[in-house]
Amino acid sequence: ASLGLEPGAPSRARARPLQPPRPAQLLLLLSCPAFRSHFARLFGADAVDQWHFVSSAPDDAVSEEEEEDQLRALGWFALLRVQRGAAAEERRGPVVTVAPLGAVVKGAPLLACGSPFGAFCPDIFLNTLSRGVLSNAAGPLLLTDARCLPGTEGGGVFAARPAGALVALVAAPLCWKAREWVGLTLLCAAAPLLQVARWALARLHPGSASLSVLLPPPDVSTPRGLPLRDLGPPWAAAAVLVECGTVWGSGVVVAPRLVVTCRHVAPREAARVLVHSATPKNVAIWGQVVFATQETSPYDIAVVSLEEELNGVPTPVPAGHFHEGEPVSVVGFGVFGQACGPSVTSGILSAVVRVDGSPVMLQTTCAVHGGSSGGPLFSSGSGDLLGIVASNTRDNNTGATYPHLNFSIPITVLQPALKQYSQTGDLGGLRELDHTTEPVRVVWRLQRPLSEVPRSKL
Amino acid sequence: MGRQWGPSMRVAEQAGCVVSASRAGQPDAGSWSCSGVILSRNPGLVLCHGGIFTPFLRTGSAALTQTGTAFLPGDSCSDDLRLHVQWGPTAASPAGRADQELPGLCTPQC
């Protein structure tokens, strides 16, 4: 309950006037059974990597009992009735409309509204907004890359289209996988929760069934019940999962029978790999690694030739130019692998590193996780393919991983060689990736020549 | 934020609230709080996270893991549960108008 935060003197002054706290009554606690079953499948004890959802860092002192309680309550919400107040206030009617389950597609923009730290300094923190996209979905279990903080549990997540429709509630603002912050927020879709609420109210309070009628109905102006896996931006369909023995990662289809991935996903030339496509339908096709850069090459790239064409998968348009600051999206099978289809995370192109005027490295603010390697980086506006995700960032001194700082190989580095191979079968252009100049190697080693190392004055 | 977010922001800020739970007569026992969504103002219906109710469950958090349980009635929590809901100024409320007249900005030190 205690945050250990101390409000400074200025925050004691009211930043904005609030309504005085109003007493309320708990009508019922409710959960969505489908959310709980998807949660158990994706995050349960059988999951290979250990997940944590506590609102604190994995190393913080949280008792096992406390963590167990948090986990048990994670998919539970509460319906309250607020005591009557001023007459003017009471005249106001329904506040929200509710988006039907499946109406918001993967990659669609979302707005999260919650109060970080709960009731701590509401004059400062009440209704803080955060923007992101719908990153992934398994039934009513949704994930967004909108950044949320402890205390925003229960906060509403709204759609831009239909405008202002309530899509979901925050179930867990922070997710940790294998002791690394994932940078995604776990949500429970609002529509099925309200369905449970209507049913429960009718059963528990038959005399006051009118309450259930007053709950906001799903917005019928939007399509409902559409399978989420088949929706989303068309360019996202080019992302595939690549399995090479026990290793798996992401890849991108650059021609009907050609997939690009990372060397550390498919490291050996001539190795057989299995390529899974999730959209437009689930298919798995065998392929062979026809090229992988040498370990000494800074470009962590492998090319897979498929035994069959991936029908219906659109081939992305390679970008010719990069614009720092432009909105971008990463699509990859990080976090869940095959269990949940690819995730979409959004951000901006934060840096384009050039050597002799040519881009050799792209950086983004998208959340990138283990398993996303080899996946595509797209321009969110044009849908053009900008690059291939190679890594995120880890501080070797602290062990901390930073999912929002990641590195991609610009498609301009690869495109001429891929075109040559695609048209003639000649690997010559790809082999040149093994012979990059020293400045490019220096960039990808994240090192400068010793003489240029800046000295810390601390 | 872009123009596309205007209507969504207005709805979100009208609907957002914060919910606090505490024990009657035991202010030192602490309080629990989370965010919530105002579904309706007449009657006042609010949806919030269930985690803040765990300490008040008569049978403990195990009640939340019973197979097939989709809901628990309000009396699953102890009688000393006290709840409060707080929200921001609404366009029609006097507080909202006061907000426009009083520049209540502050700059907490980092």
- Residue contact A127–B88, C-beta within 8 A: yes
Question: Quick one: pLDDT at residue A329?
Answer: 97
Which among B46, B68, B94 has CB closest to A24? B46
Residue A439 CB neighbour total at 10 angstroms: 12
A170 touches chain B (CB under 8 A): yes
Q: Which residues of A are catalytic?
A: 264, 300, 373
Q: Beta strand pairing status for A401-410 and B16-23?
A: unpaired
Question: Quick one: pLDDT at residue A289?
Answer: 97
- Residue contact A126–B50, C-beta within 8 A: no
- Residue contact B50–A73, C-beta within 8 A: yes
Computed over every residue of chain A, the mean pLDDT equals 86
Q: How far, in Å, are A27, A97, A361, A421 from residue A264 at the CA level? A: 53, 47, 18, 21
Q: Which residues of A touch B59 (CB under 8 A)?
A: none
- Residue contact B49–A91, C-beta within 8 A: no
Question: Quick one: pLDDT at residue A354?
Answer: 97
Question: Quick one: pLDDT at residue A400?
Answer: 81
Question: Quick one: pLDDT at residue B32?
Answer: 94
Question: Quick one: pLDDT at residue A95?
Answer: 74
Is the pLDDT assigned to residue A97 strictly greater than 80? yes
pLDDT, tens only, A379-427: 999 999 999 999 998 888 887 888 999 999 999 999 999 999 999 999 9
DSSP string, B22-45: EETT-GGG-EEEEEEEEEEETTEE
Confidence class for position A179, pLDDT limits 50, 70, 90: confident
**Alpha-carbon torsion A54, B67, A134, B54, what sign?**
negative
Please, which residues 363-422 of chain A have a Cβ atom closer than 8 Å to chain B? none
Is the pLDDT assigned to residue A278 strictly greater than 90? no
- Residue contact B11–A26, C-beta within 8 A: no
Q: What is the DSSP letter of A451?
A: G
For A91-175, list the strands marked E by DSSP: 109-114, 128-138, 141-144, 156-159, 166-172
Distance from CA of B21 to the nearest CA of A (A): 10
CA distance linking residue A328 with residue A381, whole number of Å = 8
Which among A31, A68, A92 has CB closest to B92? A92
Is the pLDDT assigned to residue A65 strictly greater than 90? no
Confidence class for position B7, pLDDT limits 50, 70, 90: confident
- Chain B: residue nearest A194 by CA? B47
Residue B60 CB neighbour total at 10 angstroms: 11
Give Cβ neighbours of residue A193 (< 8 Å, ≥ 6 apart): A30, A31, A32, A77, A140, A169, B47
Question: Quick one: pLDDT at residue A328?
Answer: 97
Give Cβ neighbours of residue B4 (< 8 Å, ≥ 6 apart): A109, A160, A161
A209 touches chain B (CB under 8 A): no
Q: Rounded mean pLDDT of A303-319? A: 93
Residue A423 has phi, psi (to 5 degrees) of -85, -35
Please, which residues 145-164 of chain A have a Cβ atom closer than 8 Å to chain B? 151-156, 158-161, 163-164
pLDDT, tens only, B63-105: 898 877 899 999 999 999 999 999 987 644 544 333 333 333 3
- Residue contact B87–A29, C-beta within 8 A: no
Residue A353 CB neighbour total at 10 angstroms: 14
CA distance linking residue A140 with residue A131, whole number of Å = 20
Q: What is the DSSP letter of A299?
A: S
User: Best residue in A82, A123, A149 to probe B by mutation, most B CBs within 10 Å?
Assistant: A82
From A10-14, A146-150, A277-281, B103-107, the region with the lowest mean pLDDT: B103-107
Is the pLDDT assigned to residue A162 strictly greater than 90? no
Is the pLDDT assigned to residue A269 strictly greater than 80? yes
Which among A16, A193, A197 has CB closest to B99? A16
Confidence class for position A361, pLDDT limits 50, 70, 90: very high
Q: How far, in Å, are A303, A373, B1 from residue A382 at the CA level? A: 25, 22, 20
User: Per the structure block, which two tokens stand in for A43?
Assistant: 């995050």
Cβ-contact A391, A406 below 8 angstroms: yes
Confidence class for position A225, pLDDT limits 50, 70, 90: very low
Q: Which residues of A touch B4 (CB under 8 A)?
A: 109, 160-161
Q: Which residues of A touch B14 (CB under 8 A)?
A: 95
- Residue contact B38–A119, C-beta within 8 A: no
Distance from CA of B105 to the nearest CA of A (A): 5
What's at A214, amino acid-wise?
A: L
User: Best residue in A67, A158, A170 to probe B by mutation, most B CBs within 10 Å?
Assistant: A158
- Residue contact A31–B107, C-beta within 8 A: no
Q: Which of A155, A156, A152, A154 is nearest to A116 (CA)?
A: A152
Cα Rg, chain B, nearest whole Å? 18
- Chain B: residue nearest A65 by CA? B61
Which among B19, B42, B70 has CB closest to A31? B70
User: Best residue in A14, A91, A115 to probe B by mutation, most B CBs within 10 Å?
Assistant: A115
Most confident by average pLDDT, A312-326, B28-42, B55-69: A312-326
A127 touches chain B (CB under 8 A): yes
Question: Quick one: pLDDT at residue A56?
Answer: 57
Q: Which of A135, A40, A189 is nearest to A366 (CA)?
A: A135
CA distance linking residue A361 with residue A410, whole number of Å = 6
Is the pLDDT assigned to residue A444 strictly greater than 60? yes
Distance from CA of B82 to the nearest CA of A (A): 8
Question: Quick one: pLDDT at residue B104?
Answer: 39
Residue A203 CB neighbour total at 10 angstroms: 13
CA distance linking residue A132 with residue A159, whole number of Å = 10
Q: Which residues of A touch B93 (CB under 8 A)?
A: 19, 86, 88-89
Give Cβ neighbours of residue A435 (< 8 Å, ≥ 6 apart): none
- Chain B: residue nearest A1 by CA? B32
Is the pLDDT assigned to residue A10 strictly greater than 70? no
A22 touches chain B (CB under 8 A): yes
User: Per the structure block, which two tokens stand in for B13?
Assistant: 């800020």
Q: Which residues of B touch A30 (CB under 8 A)?
A: 50, 70-72
Question: Quick one: pLDDT at residue A375?
Answer: 96
Q: What is the DSSP letter of A278?
A: -
